[in-house]
Amino acid sequence: MTEKPVKIFVVEDNEWYNKLLVYTLSLIPDYEVKSFFNAKDFLNSLNESPDIVTLDFKLPDLTGLEVLKRIRQENSEIQVILVSEQDDIDTAVTLLKLGAYDYITKSNDIKERLLNTVQNITKDIGLRNEITTLRREVQQKYSFRNTIIGDSTAIKNVYGLIEKALETNITVIISGETGTGKELVAKAIHYNSRRKDKPFVAVNVPAIPSELIESELFGHEKGSFTGASFRRTGRFEEADGGTLFLDEIGEMEMNLQTKLLRVLQEKEIVRIGSNKPLKTDCRIIAATNRNLKEEVRKGKFREDLYYRLLGLPIEMPPLRERGNDILVLAGYFIERFCRENKLPVKRLSPGAQKKLLNYSFPGNVRELKSIVELAVTLSVNDEVEASDFTIEDSDQTLIPGESDLTMREYEMKVLKATLKKYNNDITLTARKLDIGVSTIYRLLRQEKESGD
């Protein structure tokens, strides 16, 4: 059934039959029935947009054929059931070709026939409405101007680059700090592109153990290695026809970079344990919080892969450089959180606004969303006050007075400070920093080796 009553117009000049049809249909509570005795009155009410019309083939002022044509011209979504005294096959075929849903004769079983036909139509209407709703939800969810919120010059530049990315299948590489919305941009590109009806497959490179990532990407054959008890389809195959999003590609180990380069060049993959190449057609969107050009200079990222991936670069600005977007986003998150939790929508007090604007947001948009939701939960009035925000001064200046650190040294300082803050809980630290556990172990190992 549909969420709202199904509106049915009965057009029948025979008073007895008119009452019979109206009575039969009115037995169903979800049907809203209205009757007419001639074509003129019915056509004057056509702007009320009924879902279904039962139409007598012989009316006093117009034929059913003429009325059917008028209905199709006015609103092709209306489903028409022709009702006739004659069981004329040729007429029925003609009317069905013109768009009638069914042709029913005035026989003893007309009530059953009519109810069955109307029920079939209502199922179609419900399915059609559901599909329309789902499509609208997907479009709204991934319409980048609705989900990548902001009005700053920096974010408008991102809008322009996303629009450019939609015109072709060019490879896109999205760079920016953790929490700036890189995956959101990737999804916006995919779901607004020509590939939107095909899969969007995301791979968080550092989250997958190094010994498993090749199988994860390219798949493997049964028996190709110990524990391979079945054939596995890799992410490239899953994304065929769609988009493969490689998140934090700067963390990829060098030997896998070589294999990835070959796949991008040849547009084919080979499963582990197989010699048979398989063609692949997926758009590549990569993301990184590292400076890949600097990684190339250090010999940690292949130069040829870097240029293969470069395509269209999109730089996501950190939240601290987006000015008033902080308040725009905060208002958006407050409104959505209140709506989802059936709370009265709250507003930010002047003091709360000032506190947010003075904060550096090391976790960017992701951090803003979390602290806003917590502040709304803690607030007791219709305004969110500055005191409701649990922003610690130490979070703003995690590594004070050390502006001359290299990126690697800064990473280690941040990692050690976060580990200390969370009592050396590596899993929690990985979650807070939005990196893989394997990445933390790798950084600690590198630190130890450099100190030996």
CB 286 within 8 A of CB 246: yes
- Which amino acid is present at 196? K
Q: CATH classification of 143-315, choosing from 3.40.50.2300, 3.40.50.300, 3.90.480.20, 3.40.47.10?
A: 3.40.50.300
What pLDDT is recorded for position 396? 43
What pLDDT is recorded for position 130? 67
| Nearest-angstrom CA–CA distance, 250 and 246 | 10
What pLDDT is recorded for position 171? 95
What pLDDT is recorded for position 349? 93
Every domain of the chain with CATH number 1.10.10 lies at 407-451
Task: Write out the E strands in 65-138.
Answer: 79-84, 102-105
CATH topology of domain 407-451: Arc Repressor Mutant, subunit A (1.10.10)
What pLDDT is recorded for position 438? 78
Report the candidate in 399, 450, 447, 388 with the shortest Cα–Cα distance to residue 421. 399
| Nearest-angstrom CA–CA distance, 99 and 412 | 70
What pLDDT is recorded for position 1? 41
Every domain of the chain with CATH number 3.40.50.300 lies at 143-315
What pLDDT is recorded for position 140? 54
Tokens of 244: 């493969």
Q: Three-state DSSP class for 318?
A: coil
What pLDDT is recorded for position 368? 94
| Nearest-angstrom CA–CA distance, 192 and 168 | 11
Q: What is the CATH number of domain 319-396?
A: 1.10.8.60
Q: CATH classification of 6-138, choosing from 1.10.1740.10, 3.40.50.2300, 3.40.309.10, 3.10.105.10?
A: 3.40.50.2300
Report the candidate in 287, 318, 290, 326 with the shortest Cα–Cα distance to residue 182. 287
Give, for all 452 residues of the chain, the pLDDT tens digit.
445 788 999 999 989 989 999 998 998 888 899 999 999 999 999 888 898 999 988 888 888 888 888 888 888 888 899 888 876 677 777 778 888 888 888 888 888 888 888 888 888 777 766 665 665 555 555 566 677 888 899 999 999 999 999 989 999 999 999 899 999 999 999 988 989 888 999 999 988 888 888 899 998 888 787 777 788 889 999 999 999 999 999 999 999 999 999 999 999 999 988 888 999 999 999 999 999 999 999 999 999 999 999 899 999 999 999 999 999 999 999 999 999 999 999 999 999 999 999 898 988 999 999 999 999 999 988 899 999 998 864 344 444 444 455 666 777 877 888 887 777 888 888 877 777 777 888 888 877 777 65
CB 11 within 8 A of CB 36: yes
What pLDDT is recorded for position 312? 95
* Residue bearing tokens 């933390």: 440
Every domain of the chain with CATH number 1.10.8.60 lies at 319-396
Every domain of the chain with CATH number 3.40.50.2300 lies at 6-138
What pLDDT is recorded for position 414? 79
